[in-house]
A and B are shown apart, each in its own frame.
Chain A
Amino acid sequence: MSSLIEKSLTEIHSLLIAGEVTAVEAVKACLDQIEKTEPEIKALLAKDGENALKLAAEMDKLGPDASKPLWGVPVVIKDVLATKGITTTCGSKILENFVPFYDATSVAKLKEAGAIIIAKANMDEFAMGSTTENSAYQTTCNPHDLSRVPGGSSGGSGATIAAGQCFAALGTDTGGSIRLPASFCGCVGVKPTYGRVSRYGMIAYGSSLDQIGPMTRTVEDSARVLNVIAGHDKRDSTSVDCEVPNYIEALAERTDLSGLTIGLPEEYWGEGLSEEVSEACKNAIKKAEELGAKTVPVKLSMTEYAIATYYIIAMAEASSNLSRFDGIRYGHRSKDADELIDLYTKSRTEGFGDEVQRRIIIGTYVLSAGYYDAYYCKAAQIRRLMRNDFEKAFESCDLIAGPACPTTAFPVGELTADPLQMYLMDIFTISLNLVGMPGMSLPVGIGKDTNMPVGLQLMAPAFGETTMLQAANVLEKSLPDFSKPQQI
């Protein structure tokens, strides 16, 4: 393993800016690691190594630019984000050869900050799934144990980070799709507040839930990426026009957890939680207390409705969002359709996988005349109650902590036949998407039974990323080190 790829993003950036490492060297190190690991990990879809090297060479010619916080840093983008000139499939056959002529805003911002895109990350088709097993192209393997899933839907992003193929990846989180793979792959994954990062160019799944966020090997690295991608975008009306703090500078302001109150929701620490996850997370909480944090019990009593509410809203929105994939203007078009309805039906049946079709059908059902009030309206009401629940909980604490997922990464194929059990993997993550608040998964240990990483989830009130990242940064330094890529 090249020593370069063992560096964190923050470290490699310093070396790049100092001129001790060239952009070409950084990109080459990553491409070498991809070549070495990818046959087994299968984290990536489109690869853009040649262009990445070309760009790196041009950048090297001009010399390092210290004003660019990601100058020369190789990154990987989840395939749900439009990348100009690079095939963007969203993990679906329906977009098999789709090449956007525009960049997602988050992608454009990374480029502007000097990052070099080397590849697109595998994912569950249209971000619907928790394992990448729903990708139309390949199932990604967990670098910690190749027989296990990396989590999803941003499983490619999680695995590429854990395998040392790049220094930062973008993921997206609609119901836990950043935090779950971060937890399974032992990396840091941040889901920002809804509206913190522009969704423009992200192929929508559940528009009112989707957020883009960083996946990295350290908290500081995530703060660096979030600094770049956060902020209002006039092309996304739901992006919020408020000041973005400097998350990196903020990290230096806190060296312990004194004065911080962490809420522990009983609904997250009880039944259904595997023993090894419980133990690792409890150890982390103990560490937090040793570092000066006060812990208090809080109630999130609406949690039991979260999954039902989430799936109604997400699928309703998805059923409409995915209507544009109709075989008319781009994407897969059936070869043997002879009239319009036939063209729609065949193109979509051939182009979409089973899980996507399941969600479109359920989403269509819950929005149908006569069912709208019973499902969609009710879900929207519960969503408001959940927000009240969280706001009330945050009256007595600064952050809320709990496990990111009930288990560690499970074997490939274990839950594919049981969608309901699969949906339950999201139980601890989806509430935050419904209330729009930020959360992250921090690797806090290795499960004693499976020997797989365990992620602790930290949650904060809306736009409270600063405190969340500060606490995670302090905690990270006193816990097992996950900053080095996994040996394959």
Chain B
Amino acid sequence: MVQFETVIGLEVHAQLKTNTKIFCGCSTQFGKEPNENVCEVCSGMPGVLPVLNEKVMEYAAKMGLATNCIINKKSIFARKNYFYPDLPKGYQISQFELPICEHGHLNISYEDKSGEPCKKRIGVTRIHMEEDAGKNIHSVAENASFVDLNRTGVPLIEIVSEPDMRNAEEAVAYLKSLRSILLYLDICDGNLEEGSFRCDVNISVRPFGQEEFGTRAELKNINSFRNVHKAIHYEVARQIDLIEDGEKIIQETRLYDADKGTTHSMRGKADAHDYRYFPDPDLVPLVIADEWLAEWQAAQPELPAERKVRFEEDFKISEDDADFLTAEKDIADYYEAVLDSYNEPKKVANWIKGDFMKELNQSEVGLSECKFKPEMMATLVEMVDKDVISNKIGKDIFNEIFTAGLDPAKFVKDKGLEQNSDSSSLEAAVDKVLADNPNEVEAYKGGKKKLVSFFMGQVMKETKGQANPGIVSKMIQQKLS
């Protein structure tokens, strides 16, 4: 039986966080009334001309620098011609020959299917600038279609990878890494669901050992990393089935259906286009001055890869922990802010990876709106660390103090949850437990040493979890020896 290899290339469209559109002064603000952010330029009125928003060039170049691209001194805008109601000019201004960035790469690390850590370099073919299209709205009730041009002209960069990925894990790792960089650069908000970070997956299969690529399908309409995974699995299976049945793969665009978990053909619609690209005569070639490039390079923030290395070296945490903590900029920022108040990197890391992330994910608000501030987190870790409260109490109260943003020290004090290390009161509790459980005492003495945890549990129950476990454990062993 022939074994197949999957080949994946990705095209990512990232909406840039500029205040104004790419070729006019209209606001890019999301959530406005339809056609509120529209002027004669972005609505394609007769005679108007585009003028490049220079922030777009800066952001595109920064992404290029962050992905090890060559930044072309001279790049040109081109028109991509096609008719669609959400495209007012009848062409999209994009870049074709001579994009702003080329020949880059990205190093990814991920776990393969069996959980083994892997590393790989993925080529970034090009990054180019372009304008977003508007939105068509179809009303069944009114039997009419409407066009909202608010999104028309919102700047995008398209990041095109080499067909270097061989499975869904690599593809998702690459996407996560790109997204992470965009967030670190603060040039895109990276929201897959709202469409500010969109990915198209080019996918083909070929028998292992074959040089030439198979016929590819382009998957669109995938709005989460989980669905990228699912869509790739579905599509690979579909293509292999077809080949094994002796059928041909058609080069086409396929839409992912998140409800069914399947892909279906757009019936060659997009592929039938001849876009008739040619240089846009309305925009002079973009020439990037050496000073600008030097300036942007100097202003590049620390990126995830560099931050990870710094975390490992400065905080002496494991590579896994560093990877986890630096993947999202705001998590890394939070972590460092906690360390500013309580410098126990490993212990703080464990809390953040564990209970903190669990609560954050459940709360469905971003870290920026999170009420549980880094200083509170620091206080909590310190209280556990210094035996002011037990680890168990820390975990028990976490949901409440996280959600309401309460100061852990005050909360613990108000509720009287401090750990009990007072030996006379602990001794009374231990004595009571031993007296109440004569059979277990007998068994322990007969050699069932494991029963110490049973006694511990009973003492904790007796003290409402506040007993200092170290003292109690010692006390039990002394009394039974």
Binding site for B on A (CB under 8 A): 80-82, 88, 90, 95, 98, 100-102, 104, 199-204, 206-208, 234-238, 316-317, 319-320, 322-326, 328-330, 340, 344, 364, 367-369, 372, 376
Contact = CB atoms under 8 A, between A and B. Distances in A.
A95 B49 contact: no
B51 A95 contact: no
Contact of A328 (B49, B51, B147): B147
Contacts of A90: 46
Given A207-B282, A320-B278, A324-B90, A237 B49 contact: yes
Interface stretch (B78-86, B162-170, B311-319): B78-86
B276 A104 contact: no
Contact of B281 (A98, A102, A238): A238
B49 A236 contact: yes
Contact of A317 (B83, B281, B284): B281
A376 B278 contact: yes
A323 B89 contact: yes
A88 B283 CA distance: 25
A203 B45 CA distance: 9
Contact of A329 (B44, B91, B284): B44
B70 interface: no
Interface in B106-132: none
Nearest to A317: B281
B46 A88 contact: yes
A204 B47 contact: yes
A104 B30 CA distance: 30
Given A207-B281, A238-B284, A323 B49 contact: no
A102 B41 CA distance: 11
Name the residue in B52, B85, B276 with the highest tally of chain A Cβ atoms < 10 Å from its Cβ.
B276
Given A319-B81, A329-B44, 4 more contacts: A102-B48, A200-B49, A320-B90, A372-B278
Contact of B47 (A200, A316, A323, A368): A200
B274 interface: yes
B47 A364 contact: no
A340 B85 contact: yes
A306 B88 CA distance: 33
Contacts of A329: 43-44, 88, 147
B50 interface: yes
Given A101-B40, A202-B47, A316 B88 contact: no
Given A90-B46, A201-B47, A323-B89, A368 B276 contact: yes
A344 B83 contact: yes
A237 B45 contact: no
B274 A368 contact: yes
B460 to A, nearest CB: 71
Interface string B86-99: 00111100000000
B58 to A, nearest CB: 17
B49 A316 contact: no
A323 B51 contact: no
Contact of B51 (A203, A234, A364): A234
Nearest to A208: B281
A433 to B, nearest CB: 12
Contacts of B48: 102, 200-201
Contacts of A322: 90
Contacts of A200: 47-49
Interface in B139-173: 147
A287 B91 CA distance: 51
A102 B39 CA distance: 10
Name the residue in B48, B52, B85, B274 with the highest tally of chain A Cβ atoms < 10 Å from its Cβ.
B48
Given A323-B83, A372-B278, A237 B47 contact: no
B282 A364 contact: no
10 contacts: A200-B48, A203-B47, A237-B51, A238-B49, A238-B281, A320-B278, A324-B89, A326-B90, A329-B44, A344-B83
B14 to A, nearest CB: 24
B274 A235 contact: no
B46 A326 contact: no
B51 A235 contact: yes
Contact of B284 (A80, A100, A202, A237): A237
Contact of B81 (A104, A320, A325, A326): A320
Nearest to A199: B49
Contacts of B47: 80-82, 100, 104, 200-204
A273 to B, nearest CB: 32
Contacts of A203: 46-47
Contact of A95 (B46, B90, B281): B46
Contacts of A325: 46
A319 B282 CA distance: 14
Given A320-B90, A320-B91, A364 B281 contact: no
Contacts of B83: 323, 326, 344
B118 to A, nearest CB: 40
Nearest to A206: B281
A316 B89 CA distance: 15
Nearest to B84: A340
B147 A237 contact: no
Given A81-B47, A104-B47, A200-B47, A238 B282 contact: yes
A236 B50 CA distance: 7
A293 to B, nearest CB: 36
Contact of A102 (B44, B45, B90): B45
Contacts of B90: 320, 322-324, 326
Contacts of A317: 278, 281
A201 B47 CA distance: 4
Nearest to A103: B47
B39 to A, nearest CB: 9
A231 to B, nearest CB: 15
Interface in B242-300: 274, 276-278, 281-284
Name the residue in B46, B52, B278, B282 with the highest tally of chain A Cβ atoms < 10 Å from its Cβ.
B46
